[in-house]
Structure 1
Amino acid sequence: MISAENPLPAVARDATSDAPPFELFHFGFSICSHKVRAVLSELGLEFGSNQFAGPTKYENYTPEYVRLRLQSDVAKTSKFVSGFSGASSVDDDGFDPLVVPTLVDNQAGKVLADSKLICLYLVNTYGGGHDLLPDDLKDRILQEMDVVDQTPHVALLYGADPEGDTRPTDIQSRMPGIHQIKFESIKGHMSSVQGDANLMAAYKAKLEKEKNAEAFVVDGTAMQDATQLAERLIADLETTLQASTGTWLFDDRFTLADLVWGVSLLRLDYLGKSQFWDGDTPRPNVKAYYQRLAARPCLINAIVDWPGSRKRLQTS
């Protein structure tokens, strides 16, 4: 069980016999999982870590997990995803029934999906003593969360920048053919759930999305647009930080907006995109902001030191 006293699992995939208040189903490397783990850490909430083996095993494609995820309110009220924008916003792209994270609140008997909604739920329900979403800043914080959700992190992970591939060499070598592995896994599970209309709809939507993603990440124009969009959003962040009189986005008040921006900047740095703030067009406010965020304990626990989060771990 993950707690303030035990912030990291002993191994990448850690079973527990305890009965924690929350069960988190996640990947070590997933940026959406990073957001939820960081909020849990910032709030000091204990949770059971159910960490799936990442690519190419795709344990999150199993019918058992998809059934769990479909119990969430957002699954029942949102259209399924089909297209691919390069980002991972449920509001813009639709609900992906096969991704992580999913959180089970054992105390409330609720299943929650979509990292943005999970983060907001945790802060609103269990955030006593932590002012991550103050009323007077709520609208502005939500706007910043939407910007982070619209950042094409997924495209920049799976596809190369046409002007030079800055991703880690391990990532570069693993991405060719990865969508074919996804297709095979999805189709294999589809063959086992032919009589379940809900699961079939979920798998068909995911298959359509991944076909679109496969085409997107090898399209030079699409990838150039994604890279330029990500840098424009960093330029906008520089402007926002210039207006702040303190350490964080909103002066000296650390909020949920700062937390999710920290997750985003860590991922962009990992993908070799620190040039957005430390390259030919320096953005000193973003650079200093990133350095402060990278030292935040919740981000260290949830990302920097979390097994499998920034380096590929051997899992079995």
Structure 2
Amino acid sequence: MDSPAIMKEVVHGLWFDSCCICIPELIPQLMPEAGSLLHSRVLQYREILESLPMDAYTHGCILHPELTIDSMIPKYATAEIRRHLANATTELLKLDNEEPQLTEPYLSKHKKLMAKILEHDNVNNLTKILIELSMVLDQVEAELEKRKLEYEGRKCELWLCGNTFTLADILLGATLHRLKFLGLSKKHWEDGSRPNLQSYFERIQKRYAFRRVLGDIHTTLLSAVLPNAFRLVKRKPPSFFGASFLMGSLGGMGYFAYWYLKKKYI
């Protein structure tokens, strides 16, 4: 099946189970009508969730697996990335001798990468942003509780901003998916501390588009993203560029569905 056909299924799948017939004119908009209460809620949580430093969570958890529980990142990832970063200077000197015209662009890339990794490698900074993450998830938990009270006694699905699935849910679902992969779910909702969030994540994982785009965490991220990234690390000089590709892959995979739909509907 070609890509346009696959993406069409993804869009339809957001609203219907795979066994249902899709009727385009009945598919609700991902962004509610401007001026409505639902619209303002979606804007609020879209801003909150988009501001989360997902790259810092990802890099920090790779470099400090001791802060995670049941992380799905292979154990060799930390050592592999640190090894490539440690060898970056040697690689640059070698490159300067072999391909002097490439030294400057690679050096610039290396400096930017190192600055970012050093920031994300700071345990104190990582602890701080994880505390801030807990505060955001507390707010989400409270919002989900409001939905239960708001629609009490009514037979309808409950999502973050109302009884309609919106862009805010796409972003929240992708965020929870990433946190689960990184080994942060046990500390943030699977320990029973946020039952509404846990129930929400269980429901969103059953949606057709979620399964199709993000798929199973083990098979999609581990068997597809990481091995391909490490193969490039081994083949492509300089090494730090491979490490950069690995982290970039991890940093972008979780938001594929959200960004596609954002471009399509907004």
* TM-score, scaled to structure 2: 0.59
Q: Deviations over 1:75-109 (max 9, x none)?
A: xxxxxxxxxxxxxxxxxxxxxxxxxxxxxxxxxxx
User: How many angstroms does 1:153 deviate by?
Assistant: 2.6
Partner in structure 1 of residue 49 of structure 2: 148
The aligned runs of 1:159-174 (5 Å cut-off) are 159-160=60-61, 164-166=67-69, 168=71, 170-174=73-77
Question: Which consecutive unaligned segments of at least 5 residues does structure 1 have?
Answer: 8-36, 46-125
Q: Does the aligned pair in 1 maintain the 2:13–2:208 contact within 8 Å?
A: no
What SS does structure 1 have at the residue aligned with 2:209? Answer: helix
Question: Which consecutive unaligned segments of at least 5 residues does structure 2 have?
Answer: 15-23, 152-157, 232-266
Number of aligned positions between the proteins: 196
State which of 158, 162, 174 in structure 2 corresponds to 1:263.
174
Q: Does the aligned pair in 1 maintain the 2:71–2:184 contact within 8 Å?
A: no
The aligned runs of 1:1-316 (5 Å cut-off) are 1-2=2-3, 7=6, 41-43=10-12, 129-135=27-33, 136=36, 137-160=38-61, 164-166=67-69, 168=71, 170-178=73-81, 181=84, 204=108, 206-244=109-147, 245-246=150-151, 247-274=158-185, 275-279=187-191, 282-305=193-216, 309-313=220-224, 314-315=227-228
Q: Deviations over 1:209-239 (max 9, x none)?
A: 4222221232110111122122221111001
Question: Residues 213 and 264 of structure 1: is their aligned pair in 2 closer, same or farther, counting only changes over 3 Å?
Answer: same
Higher relative contact order (CA 8 A, sep 6+): 2
Question: Residues 250 and 170 of structure 1: is their aligned pair in 2 closer, same or farther, counting only changes over 3 Å?
Answer: closer
What SS does structure 2 have at the residue aligned with 1:278? Answer: coil
What SS does structure 2 have at the residue aligned with 1:151? Answer: coil
Q: Percent identity?
A: 21
Q: How far apart, CA to CA, are the structure 1 residues paired with 2:165 and 2:75?
A: 35
Letter in structure 2 aligned against 1:152? P
What SS does structure 2 have at the residue aligned with 1:176? Answer: helix
Partner in structure 2 of residue 118 of structure 1: none
User: How many angstroms does 1:296 deviate by?
Assistant: 1.1
What SS does structure 1 have at the residue aligned with 2:67? Answer: coil
Richer in strand (by share): 1
Q: How far apart, CA to CA, are the structure 2 residues paired with 1:240 and 1:164?
A: 27
Letter in structure 2 aligned against 1:151? L
User: How many angstroms does 1:129 deviate by?
Assistant: 4.2
Q: Deviations over 1:276-299 (max 9, x none)?
A: 0122x6111111111111111111
Question: Residues 309 and 129 of structure 1: is their aligned pair in 2 closer, same or farther, counting only changes over 3 Å?
Answer: same
User: Which runs of 4 or more aligned residues in structure 1 lie more than 6 Å from their structure 2 counterparts after TM superposition?
Assistant: 191-194
Q: Deviations over 1:98-127 (max 9, x none)?
A: xxxxxxxxxxxxxxxxxxxxxxxxxxxx99
Q: How far apart, CA to CA, are the structure 2 residues paired with 1:150 and 1:230?
A: 10
Richer in helix (by share): 2
Q: Deviations over 1:138-159 (max 9, x none)?
A: 3432331222222233223222
User: How many angstroms does 1:181 deviate by?
Assistant: 4.1
Q: Which has the larger radius of gyration?
A: 2
Q: Does the aligned pair in 2 maintain the 1:238–1:286 contact within 8 Å?
A: yes
Letter in structure 2 aligned against 1:150? S
What SS does structure 1 have at the residue aligned with 2:161? Answer: coil
